[in-house]
Amino acid sequence: MDSFKTLKPFFIEHKWTYVLGILCLLVVDLLQLLIPEVLRSVTNNLERNLLTFDGLLIYAFYILLIGLGLAVFRFFWRILILGASRKLEYHLRNKLFLHLLNMSTTYYNRHKTGDLMAHVTNDIHAVRMACGPGIVAMTDAIFLNIAVIVMMSFTTDLRLTALALLPMPLLIFSMTKFGKLIHIGFKEVQESFADVTDKVQENISGIRVVKSFAQEESEIKGFEEKNEMLFQKNMRLAKIFGTFHPLVQFLSALSFVITIGYGGTLVIYGTISLGDFVAFTTYLALLVSSISVIGWVINVMQRGMASMDRIDIILKEQPEIKDTPYSKNLIDIKGDIIFNGVSFKHPKSSEYALKDISFHLPSGQSLGIIGRTGSGKTTIPHLLLRIYNTIEGSISIDDTSIEEIQLKSLRENIGFVDQDSILFSTTIKDNIGFGVDTYTMEEVEKFSRIADIHENIMDFPNKYETTVGERGITLSGGQKQRISIARALIKNPKILILDDCLSAVDTNTEEKILYELKKEMKHKTTIIVAHRVSTIKNCDKIIVLDHGTIIEEGTHQELLDFNGLYADIYEKQLLEEKIYN
């Protein structure tokens, strides 16, 4: 049971729920043991011609009373044990989701979304089954087996009991061997299921790309291969079950053959009564059914342990970027930013994305970052947000290293507009207010106007209550970018980062947004990453990146006068505008 060590605090907290549930379950088992005794008395009295109509009514009343007791206590053990397993499912899903949210970005670069989805769904379901129905069946199997063997031995005949139990060691041996195969097989099924889930998720998320490139048939073929693998894994597991269950039933049936043969002989010779024989076969039926359930218990427990092992691997992973006991909470941040000799490599990469980056951005000023594709522009804001940690050098805000600042405090003081502009499947209003605890419609509309998206929103049938599709798929790229800008501004952050977030809007819209942003940027430290010179030309300072290093820096005019890469980019973009206009 080492697989369930992670759940020890939960079991300690809910121990009395499980204890009371198991006690109710044991009462049910004890009541079931009374039924063979009632049948023994009825049969013996009938054989001796001592059974009267009144006596029959009394026995019927006993059966009815036992049935009522079974119903009541069965209800309580279901509520207690199965209810606790549902709480466990709730607890584990929350714990896993919280852990996933706390993991660093690099973790998601190494793990597929489909695999993580399988953990949150199938694996947690398997753990619940093991800690609910599995515990019930295991308790039943252990208690009933012991109690039934004792009753058979002391109320009927010890020799008959010993002979009837002869096939049981072979049955237990078979279940142990098959249990290991089931554990391995189920783990393979879960891993294959994760591959299928990941394939479906990728294709649904990228459906527009698939259709644009007419790759439906190719993707269907790829899915069929993964689905075929899942089918084969399931069929292998089904074959194990297909052998396991009939074998259990066959070995169980041998006990009945022995009982009928030898027990019938004892009845004929008067060693035991007919009532004893009827009670014994009833006990044996309970024994065989409880032993047969052991097969199901092994299956459920093995599945639960395999799933818990997979979940434990995730829970044992620690985020690479996290707070320390000495992390500070930023109060009254001014936004003075210093990069000092910062170098960075992406995980598993041998080349530097940034090399020896140094600059000082005073509070309230703006910095423009430009360069060729792949020059490391986006990496700078990612390092400032501690999406990644620096390899060399240091980054500080207000003379405090960002590694000494609490992550929540750091990120709450930064308004970040990512170039991907991902929205959530909720209303436009909720997407804009995503980064703050409370907000008013006046604030939502104010920042929507600054982002030049208000008029577009008012054209929608439900206006700000319009629900956007997954990742904002129902909106255009420009609309998503502008909603993302409003989402960052409503936080009223001390530091504002715009990472190529105007690439999907035309130059006229860009000018309107930048004009409105000037008022918001007056008292904010602003970093603008862009491909277009027009986006950053009014910044207080501009740095030009190439192959991860700063090759030019200065104001717009100073860089033009330098006549380097910046001037070259500017001239080419002016030429493009003339051609397209």
- For the chain (581 residues), the mean pLDDT of every run of 10, in chain order, is 73 90 91 85 80 83 90 92 90 87 77 73 85 86 83 82 80 74 78 79 70 73 85 86 78 81 83 83 80 74 82 83 81 86 83 88 89 85 86 88 87 84 82 83 86 84 80 74 86 86 73 79 85 84 89 88 86 71 54
DSSP-assigned letter for residue 111: S
Give residue 451's pLDDT: 83
What CA–CA distance (Å, rounded) separates 164 from 263? 9
Instruction: Count the helices and strands in the chain (H runs, E runs).
Output: 24, 10
- Using alpha carbons, select from 104, 94, 136 the residue that is nearest to residue 311: 94
Q: Which of 103, 251, 105 lies closest to 177 in space, CA to CA?
A: 251
The total of other beta-carbon atoms located within 10 Å of residue 52's CB is 10
Contact between 187 and 306 (Cβ < 8 Å): yes
- CB–CB of 525/494 below 8 Å? yes
pLDDT computed for residue 471 by the predictor: 65
Q: In this structure, are strands 549-554 and 366-371 parallel, antiparallel, or unpaired?
A: unpaired
Instruction: Write out the two tokens for 168.
Output: 């049981």
User: Between the CA atoms of 330, 333, 336 and 338, what dihedral angle is there, to the nearest 10 degrees?
Assistant: 10
Instruction: Give CA–CA dist 390/375, Å, rounded.
Output: 17
Q: Quick one: pLDDT at residue 292?
A: 66
Q: pLDDT value at position 163?
A: 84
> Which of these, 337, 177, 164, lies nearest to 253 by C-alpha position?
164
Looking at residue 19, its pLDDT comes to 92
**Cβ 389 vs Cβ 364: under 8 Å:** no
Q: What is the DSSP string of 248-310?
A: HHHHHHHHHHHIIIIIHHHHHTTSS-HHHHHHHHHHHHHHHHHHHHHHHHHHHHHHHHHHHHH
> Concatenated DSSP letters for 474-502?
TS-HHHHHHHHHHHHHTT--SEEEEESTT
Give the helix/strand (H/E) hosting 352.
Answer: strand 352-361
Q: Which class is domain 92-316?
A: mainly alpha
Q: State how far the Cα of 372 lies from the Cα of 125, in Å rounded to an integer.
A: 49
- The pLDDT tens digits of the residues spanning 192-208 come to 887 787 777 777 767 76
Contact 300, 130 (CB under 8 A): yes
CA dist 40 and 124 (Å) reads 46
- Which residues are 554's β-sheet partners? 542
Tokens matching residue 476: 């255009």
With CA atoms as reference, report the closest residue to 413 among 486, 492, 517, 321.
492
Instruction: Please give the pLDDT value at position 16.
Output: 93
Note the pLDDT of residue 1.
52
CATH 3.40.50.300 for domain 337-580, yes or no, is yes
Written as six digits, the tokens of 266 are 């004892």
Going from N- to C-terminal start, the domains of the chain cover 92-316, 337-580
